Chains A and B, each alone.
Chain A
Amino acid sequence: MMDSDVFVQSLQDLGVNFFTGVPDSILGGIIAELMNRRLYTPAVREDEAVGMAAGAYMAGKMPAVLMQNSGLGTSLNTLISLNVIYRQPCILIVSWRGQGGKDAPEHLVMGEVMPQFLDTMKIPHRTLTEKTAAEDFRWVADTFKKQQIPVALFITKGVVKGLHP
């Protein structure tokens, strides 16, 4: 299991310097670490977070947005009618609720279809594992820079330490 501070440091090492989002339990440890480092601007909806990140990008920042995968539904229109068509990249740190059908009922549909959902929207994605972490982070930064659109890194339960280990 990866420590939250290692995760946050890895993103900072890539150049990420604007963090916003809406919390999820899987992301609890990461958000706590971002708050410790005074790097986190909380949003009230995921589409708002994506909009803020787009503004920050145009003002010279490299932004990341944290969200539960349900937030992909909430922010979909912003992702496609702002980020994709205007070529405004951001890194989406998305917790994969409902993975493998083992979660509360509200997470099961998105949990099952999430990768295909993003494929349909042509948003590149990858799932973080502790073993491949260095490569995963490099891929995220390269995709951000080359494609200039949102790129998603899925965080499954237990890969990054949460608030209550």
Chain B
Amino acid sequence: MTMRPEQGTLISRAQAMAALLELLTDQPVVVCNGFPSREAQKIADRPTHFYMIGSMGNAPAIALGVALAKPNKQVVTFDGDGNVLMGMGTLATVGALKPKNFIHVVFDNEVYGTTGNQPTISNVVPLEKVAKAAGYVNTVRVLDRDDLVYEFQDLLKKDGPSMLLIKVNEFQEEAERILLDPPDLTKRFMNAIKG
């Protein structure tokens, strides 16, 4: 495993997430387990966020269920490279079903950050290309904040399914565990996305 040439110039996942959350309002957001959920809770805790604490690999499946049940709501999932690799079959399910209201954001730091930065294989497997081959309509890879804001704004206007893959560095924000009990998170999210 070699170091990426651009590695030193990348933004952190928390910086990328903060930029995305500024562009989102009341869209349901399903956030994968581990630090992504903790960082999202710290940056902007909204009732429309569903924070996962387990079931790694299932974030896009949960978001897909929401998207199919609520075809008039744009549904976003915040995912990681290790998560996508674990549940890669879901790229095929999304690509085949083609929900227009589905936006898949992948923060790709090429490591299992929550467990101590063990390498994933996303340095050699371009996940947005896998998504494209599986049938996602729009797929974009970005490396910096300006591109990320521009491309996400564009995807919010387009019919999906879309994947925005953001190369981020390994920096992990100090962020506490998810505060609400899981059943309360379920209730809060259900109430927030009603109608």
Interface residues of A (CB under 8 A from B): 18, 20, 41-45, 47-61, 63, 77-78, 80-82, 85-88, 148
- Chain B's closest residue to A45 (CB) is B89
Known: A44-B89, A85-B182. A59 touches B69 (CB 8 A): yes
Q: How far is the CA of A51 from the CA of B28 in the complex (A)?
A: 16
* Among candidates A44, A47, A54, A87, residue contacting B65 with C-beta atoms closer than 8 Å: A54
Tell me what chain A mostly uses at the interface: helix, strand, loop, or mixed: helix
* Among candidates B55, B69, B186, residue contacting A81 with C-beta atoms closer than 8 Å: B55
B contact residues around A18 at 8 Å (CB): 65, 68-69
A contact residues around B66 at 8 Å (CB): 55-56, 58-59
Say yes or no: B62 contacts A54, CB within 8 Å. Answer: yes
* Among candidates B52, B68, B182, B185, residue contacting A56 with C-beta atoms closer than 8 Å: B68
Q: How far is the CA of A41 from the CA of B67 in the complex (A)?
A: 12
* Among candidates A44, A58, A148, residue contacting B189 with C-beta atoms closer than 8 Å: A58
Say yes or no: B55 contacts A82, CB within 8 Å. Answer: yes
Within 8 A of A (CB), among B43-95: 50, 52-58, 61-70, 87, 89-90, 92-93
Say yes or no: B93 contacts A82, CB within 8 Å. Answer: no
Within 8 A of A (CB), among B10-59: 28, 30, 50, 52-58
Say yes or no: A82 contacts B89, CB within 8 Å. Answer: no
The CB with the most chain B CB atoms within 10 A, among A41, A51, A78, is that of: A51
Interface size on B, residues (CB 8 A): 34
B contact residues around A81 at 8 Å (CB): 53-55
The CB with the most chain B CB atoms within 10 A, among A18, A42, A60, is that of: A60
B contact residues around A148 at 8 Å (CB): 183
Q: Does B156 contact A (CB under 8 A)?
A: no
| Interchain pairs with CB closer than 8 A, number | 110
Q: How far is the CA of A86 from the CA of B56 in the complex (A)?
A: 14
Say yes or no: B61 contacts A48, CB within 8 Å. Answer: yes
Nearest 3 interchain pairs by C-beta: A55-B65, A81-B54, A51-B61
Known: A18-B69, A44-B90, A58-B50. A51 touches B62 (CB 8 A): yes
Instruction: Known pairs A47-B55, A54-B62; list 12 more (Cβ under 8 Å).
Output: A18-B65, A20-B65, A44-B90, A44-B92, A45-B87, A47-B57, A51-B90, A55-B65, A55-B66, A56-B65, A77-B54, A77-B55
Say yes or no: A52 contacts B65, CB within 8 Å. Answer: yes
Least Cβ–Cβ distance between B179 and chain A, in angstroms: 15
Say yes or no: A58 contacts B90, CB within 8 Å. Answer: no
Q: How far is the CA of A87 from the CA of B67 in the complex (A)?
A: 20
* Among candidates B28, B57, B97, B182, residue contacting A41 with C-beta atoms closer than 8 Å: B97
Known: A43-B93, A44-B93, A51-B61. A59 touches B193 (CB 8 A): yes
Q: Does B194 contact A (CB under 8 A)?
A: yes
Q: How far is the CA of A137 from the CA of B194 in the complex (A)?
A: 28
